Amino acid sequence: MQDAFNRLAGDLMAGLQGEEVLLCSVHGEDSDFVRFNKGRIRQAGAVRQQGISLELIRGRRHAGASATLSGEHDVDLARLKPLLADLRARLPRLPEDPYLQYATDVHSSERHAEADIPTPDEAVDRIQSAASGFDLVGVYASGGIHTGHANSLGQRNWFDTQNFNFDWSFYLSGDKAVKTAYAGQTWEETAFARKIARAARQLEALKRDPHTIQPGRYRVYLAPAAIHDIVGLLSWGGFGLKALKTGQSPLLKLAEGEASLAEAVSIAENTAQGFAPDFQAAGFIRPPRVPLIEGGRHAEALVSPRSSMEYHVPTNGASAMEAPESVDVAAGALPDAEVLGRLGTGIYVGNVWYLNYSDRPACRTTGMTRFATFWVENGEIAAPLDVMRFDETVYRMLGENLVGLTAERELVLDPGTYLQRATTSGRYPGALVEDFNFTL
């Protein structure tokens, strides 16, 4: 695929005229999917697809278009040449873009991620064996994802990854289920068995009569899946330069030094250990690591090429959304085995959903608990809790009220499949928090 893309891009660039510059990006996958319901295979299939995006530039004018590739060089070239001609015809009618920026220093790169994943048949056998007797609902996806970039200045970049992502629930009844996931580049049977065993124990606890509590402030444990969703909400404008400069970032007070998080909290864009490409559509290379929050204080912002031009700050290869794609939340010192004991009496929150800002400038978030949320007494799960709504600032939950982060972290790989399998990922610890505010 890499050689085929470079050949196709080279043939397109051979037809450029005058001072035209062409950027080409290719995205593709070779994926297998298996959908489960009641522990049985309900649907299985494979997706083999590849698409290309073209950006034609002349001066400060640019126009772009995308197309699906067939994999046959002559066929694809014959389809793309008229598309390139159409972009050329559009350019004179377009306004100049003052913030246009693309890589002009040639930095070619090649990254092939190693993996040890089971075949789909092997994975299905392992899943069905481990989940025998449970009403398992979920989707298993695996295979390769690749991204390439080429420009007419001579730069060539390639990235591919092989991974698996099993996103599933043990269903009980009504709205009662235990949701979990297992993802990565190396399938470890013992790690998968631990996740199955934990989900099974929580499913048994869900069978007990639910406990009712009043709205108020409680000591809570936020599992890694919940931290993933909370940090995901922060990523909506929280870490980007554009949002900071326009005053729209929910972490503006942190960036301006008016507020801080706990010293234990450090968050980075860790491209070197993530599943996303180490380059972006304009050809800029992403650093292996960009610290976003260090020791509870603002460190750096994600800077897209357009923001770089607008605010005269060097770009660090961020996407146009300026959102992290390979999140790394540093681990703490709390052993996972001691979580319930350290929680004592309080609430174990497995998942959250429907998150939004109730007060964006104050970084106040609201959301609801979901799936396995339990009332804990004396370090033991006592009963399930019905869905509850919380309203809390990140400055409290990850700041003044943070008791500790777990030493163990979980890898969360985005299960999204819009257009193609997602490559965003993150590693998250759990968090023990006191005085957490539930409103309903």
Report CA-CA distances (Å) from 414 to 90, 143, 167, 225, 268.
37, 14, 9, 11, 17
Query: Residue 175's pLDDT is what?
Result: 85
Pairing state between β 21-37 and 136-151: antiparallel
- Give the mean pLDDT of 344-366: 96
Measured CA to CA, the distance from residue 351 to residue 248 in angstroms comes to 27
- How would residue 374 be classed by pLDDT, with cut points 50, 70 and 90? very high
- Of the candidates 183, 228, 415, 187, which has an alpha carbon nearest to the alpha carbon of residue 327? 228
pLDDT of residue 371: 87
Backbone angles phi, psi at 372, to 5 degrees: -80, 95
Residue 120 CA to residue 46 CA, distance in Å, equals 10
pLDDT tens profile 142-164: 999 999 999 999 999 999 999 99
Looking at residue 71, its pLDDT comes to 94
- The mean pLDDT value of the chain amounts to 96
| Residue 368 banded pLDDT, cuts 50, 70, 90 | very high
Give, in order, the Cα–Cα distances in Å from 369 to each of 17, 35, 423: 58, 25, 26
pLDDT at 419: 87
Burial annotation 48-63 (CB, 10 A radius, 16+ → b, else e): eebebebbbbbeebbb
pLDDT, tens digit (0-9, with 9 covering 90-100), for 105-143: 999 999 998 889 999 999 999 999 998 999 999 999 999
**Distance between CA atoms of residues 126 and 291, nearest Å:** 38
Q: Three-state SS across 234-295?
A: HCCCCCEHHHHHCCCCCCHHHHCCCCCCCCCCCEEECHHHCCCCCECCCCCECCCCEEEEEC
Residue 129 three-state SS: helix
Measured over the CA atoms of residue 421, residue 427, residue 430 and residue 436, the dihedral's sign is negative
Confidence of residue 372 (pLDDT cuts 50, 70, 90): confident
- pLDDT of res. 385: 94
* Residue in this structure with the two tokens 């380059």, named with its chain if needed: 279
d(CA 221, CA 233): 19
Is residue 407 predicted with pLDDT exceeding 90? Answer: yes
pLDDT at residue 150, as a whole number: 98
pLDDT tens digits, residue range 71-107?
A: 999 999 999 999 999 999 999 999 999 999 999 999 9
pTM of the prediction? Answer: 0.95
Class level of CATH domain 2-205 = alpha beta
Measure the CA–CA gap between 195 and 181, rounded to whole angstroms.
Answer: 8
Q: What is the pLDDT of residue 320?
A: 94
Q: Show the beta-strand stretches assigned E in 21-89.
A: 21-37, 40-58, 61-68
Q: What mean pLDDT do residues 284-299 have?
A: 98
3-state secondary structure of 92: helix
Task: Give yes or no for a contact between 416 and 422, defined as CB atoms under 8 angstroms apart.
Answer: yes
Is the pLDDT assigned to residue 361 strictly greater than 90? yes
Sorted by where each begins, the domain ranges of the chain are 2-205, 208-438
